[in-house]
Chains A and B, each alone.
Chain A
Amino acid sequence: KAGVTQTPRYLIKTRGQQVTLSCSPISGHRSVSWYQQTPGQGLQFLFEYFSETQRNKGNFPGRFSGRQFSNSRSEMNVSTLELGDSALYLCASSRDGQGQETQYFGPGTRLLVL
């Protein structure tokens, strides 16, 4: 079974631009979560989608948004990029996003904002 895939793996943008990251979950998984990882803040939860609906959201500004499609693939968008948005963005999938389930992580997209 294929794992979680994320595209692109690396991205360079400039301040003020916007970016869209993509995540394809493991087949059969309907829950997709997004995390931002930085050296200073560690792993921070962005949001979780289940059946095309955002179910849970972390403490990030509205510049960070996402969506999920009917095939469970998810995209994350960051508008008006800031230098501080440089990070590794990880997505994780699980079957239903319930407490006991394991989240399977993708390799991440490394975003550099110049």
Chain B
Amino acid sequence: AQSVTQPDIHITVSEGASLELRCNYSYGATPYLFWYVQSPGQGLQLLLKYFSGDTLVQGIKGFEAEFKRSQSSFNLRKPSVHWSDAAEYFCAVVSRSGGYQKVTFGTGTKLQVIP
């Protein structure tokens, strides 16, 4: 069975500092990996996704993530955090089961940005 672990429930960073959110997955084959962001009271917005190829993927809002198969990780990074980045971030692994998607989300990491 596939699973996703986001070990950090809550992270606080200063505005302008760098950010790394951790995501580890468990899946038998090469997974499809996604990062989503959720602002309070809102739905999820896709930041970036990885299917194959270059292991460093660029997303929206200046985010990037690196797929490391040896570590089963897909960590999200941003070089300089803005106050508007305060939100909850979800990592997800998608597999195909019987020809359709099976999506498993991590428990999320809440990001607080302090001035």
Knowing A99-B95, A107-B43, A108-B42, the reply to whether A42 touches B108 (Cβ < 8 A) is yes
**A66 close to chain B: CB less than 8 A:** no
Q: How far is the CA of A12 from the CA of B45 in the complex (A)?
A: 26
Main secondary structure of the interface of B (DSSP, over half): strand
Quick check: B46 and A102 within 8 Å, CB to CB?
yes
The one of A90, A99, A104 that contacts B101, using a Cβ cutoff of 8 Å:
A99
- Counting chain B residues whose Cβ lies within 8 A of the other chain, the interface size class is 20 to 34
Quick check: A33 and B108 within 8 Å, CB to CB?
no
Which one of B51, B94, B103 has the greatest number of beta carbons of chain A within 10 Å? B103
The one of A56, A102, A107 that contacts B42, using a Cβ cutoff of 8 Å:
A107
- Counting chain A residues whose Cβ lies within 8 A of the other chain, the interface size class is 20 to 34
Which A residues are CB-close (under 8 A) to B97? 56
Q: How far is the CA of A35 from the CA of B92 in the complex (A)?
A: 13
Quick check: A97 and B44 within 8 Å, CB to CB?
no
Knowing A43-B105, A94-B101, the reply to whether A99 touches B94 (Cβ < 8 A) is yes
Quick check: B100 and A43 within 8 Å, CB to CB?
no
Considering only residues 96-115 of chain B, those with a C-beta below 8 Å from chain A are: 96-108
Knowing A97-B100, A97-B101, the reply to whether A108 touches B43 (Cβ < 8 A) is yes
Quick check: A4 and B96 within 8 Å, CB to CB?
no
Q: How far is the CA of A89 from the CA of B99 in the complex (A)?
A: 25
The one of A45, A50, A98, A102 that contacts B49, using a Cβ cutoff of 8 Å:
A102
Which A residues are CB-close (under 8 A) to B43? 4, 90, 105-108
The residues of B with any CB-CB pair to A shorter than 8 Å are: 32, 34, 36, 41-46, 49, 51, 90, 94-108
Would you mind naming 14 contact pairs between A and B with Cβ atoms under 8 Å apart? A42-B105, A42-B108, A43-B105, A56-B98, A97-B100, A97-B101, A99-B94, A99-B101, A100-B32, A103-B101, A105-B45, A107-B41, A108-B41, A108-B43
